[in-house]
Amino acid sequence: MYRRRLKQKAMLLAVLLGFLIILIMPGREREEKSAPEEGEKLVIPQEDEEYTAVPEETWTMPDADAGIRVLLLAEDGGIWHEEQELEREYPGKLQYYEEEEGWVIVNEVPLEEYLCRVVPSEMPSSYAGEALKAQAVCARTYAVWQMQEYAYPQYEAHVNDSVTYQVYNQIDSQETTRQAVEATAGQIMLYEGRPVKAYYFATSCGSTTDENIWEKGNREQTPYIAGRRTGTSESVKDLTDEDTFAGFIRRKHAGDLEISEPWYRWNCYVSLEQIGQNVRNWAKARMDHSADGILWKDGENYILPEQYEIGTMEKAEIVTRNTGGAVHELLLTGSDGVLKVKYEYNIRLMLGIPGGVIHKNDGSEGEGGNLLPSGYFVMEPVEEDGELKGYRLWGGGLGHGAGMSQNGARVLAEEGCRYDEILQYFYHEIQLAGLE
C-alpha cells in the first residue's frame, strides 16, 4: 500500500516537472532569439542558398515606392530634343516641356524599375551575382542621395541619364541584374544615419582615393570614402609622395585585386602639340564650369584667368597628388603663360589623346579619347635631339578612382564575398538600411 502511494506520488511529481519544463522552455527560446549573445558569428549560407543581408536601420525619405525623375539627354549631349519621339522605350511616364530650343523630356519611373535599367548599363550582366547586388545597392544609394534635391529644378528632374549621374536605359533590363535589384530591394547605405555618396568606377590601379579629387569634394564630410589599397598587401605607403608613387605605379603588386585586369596598368604617349591642342579645346569651357579648376600664374600667385591662351606648349609637370596617388594639380607652361590645372577630370582632359594608342596591362591596345583613362600616372619626358617633344605616361586604373571599384567587386564576389562584405570593403563603416 505504502509502495503504491509512493509510486503514485512519484508519477505525479514527474508529470508536474514535465509541465514546468514545457512552460519554461518556450520563454527561454524566445529570449535567446531576441537577444543573441555578444559576438555571435554570422552564419554564411551554402552556395545554393540565396543570400540577402538584413538592414540595420531604416530610411524614410524617399520611401520604398518613390519615383525618380530622369531628364533624358539628346544624342548631342544637350537637354533639347528635336522631336518628341524617342528611339528607346521607357517604363513609367514621359513628360514633355516645349522650349524654343526643342523638347525637354523627363521620364518619371519607380525607383526599383529605374535601377533595373541602371545596373546593366553600369556593370556587365555576366558578372558574379554578389557583385551585381553590390552594384544595385550602390546605384540605389546614389539615386536616393540625388533625390534629396533637383539637378534640374525647372523640370523637377533629379538626375539625367548620362555618366554625369548614372547611365540609364542604355542597356535593357537583364534577368541577372533584375534579380540583383529584387534581391536587395529597398536597401541603401547609410553613414551616421544619412545616405552616402556611393561613387563607383571601373578598375583600380591597386589604390583608391577620396572625393577631394573633385572641386566640391570634402573628405571631412565623407570619411567613408577614405581611399585604400585594394588587395592583400599590408604595406603602408604615402602615395601622395612623387617618388613613392612612381615606384608603385611602375610595378605590378602580387595580391592586388585587379592585377589581371586590362586597365590595371597602361601607358601611352602624349605630345606637347596634343597638350596645347587640348588647352585650346577645353580650358575655356572648364574655366566656365569650375570656380578654381583652371588658374593663371600671376607672379607668385595663381588667379582666376582673364585668358587661357598660353602659346606654344613647353612643359607639363605634376605638382601635387591626392590620397592614393591621383594627380591633384598639374602645371602647363607655354610661351605666353602658365596654367595650373586642378582636379582629376580637368587634368585627364588636358592630357587626353583622342585617336592615340593606349597600351594595356594584358598586351592589348586601346584607342585613346578626350579623357585619359585615370588620374593615376607618372610622366616620363620624351626627347628628340635634346628637345622635349612630349611625355610617356605610365598609369593604372580606369575611371575616377573613388568609392567602389566594379572589377574589384567582381573579383571579391568570385572569391566568395557577399555583397554586404564587398560594400564594407570599399565604404568605411557604413550600415545597410531599408527604405520604408
Q: How far apart are CA 81 and CA 105, in angstroms?
A: 8
Residue 350 has pLDDT above 80, yes or no: yes
Q: Which of 14-18, 204-208, 318-322, 380-384 has the lowest mean pLDDT?
A: 14-18
pLDDT on residue 436: 80
Q: Which residue has the cell 540609364?
A: 168
Q: pLDDT above 70 covers what percent of the chain?
A: 86
Residue 19 has pLDDT above 50, yes or no: no
pLDDT on residue 57: 64
Give the pLDDT mean for 62-84.
90
Using CA atoms, how far residue 178 sits from 137, 290, 366, 410, in Å, is 12, 37, 31, 17
Q: How far apart are CA 168 and CA 160, in angstroms?
A: 8
pLDDT on residue 431: 96
Q: Which of 53-62, 285-294, 308-317 has the lowest mean pLDDT?
A: 53-62
Q: Which of 41-45, 60-64, 98-102 has the lowest mean pLDDT?
A: 41-45
What is the model's pTM? 0.84
Mean pLDDT of the chain: 87
pLDDT category of residue 289 using cuts at 50, 70 and 90? confident
Give the pLDDT mean for 106-111.
97
DSSP letter string, 268-320: EEEEHHHHHHHHHHHHHHHHHH-SSSEEEEETTEEE--S-----SEEEEEEEE
Are the C-beta atoms of 378 and 394 separated by less than 8 Å?
yes
pLDDT on residue 32: 31
Q: How far apart are CA 217 and CA 210, in angstroms?
A: 8
Q: How far apart are CA 171 and CA 167, in angstroms?
A: 9
Residue 10 has pLDDT above 80, yes or no: no
State the Cα torsion 166-172-177-182 to the nearest 10°: 90
Q: How far apart are CA 136 and CA 188, in angstroms?
A: 9
Q: How far apart are CA 425 and CA 417, in angstroms?
A: 10
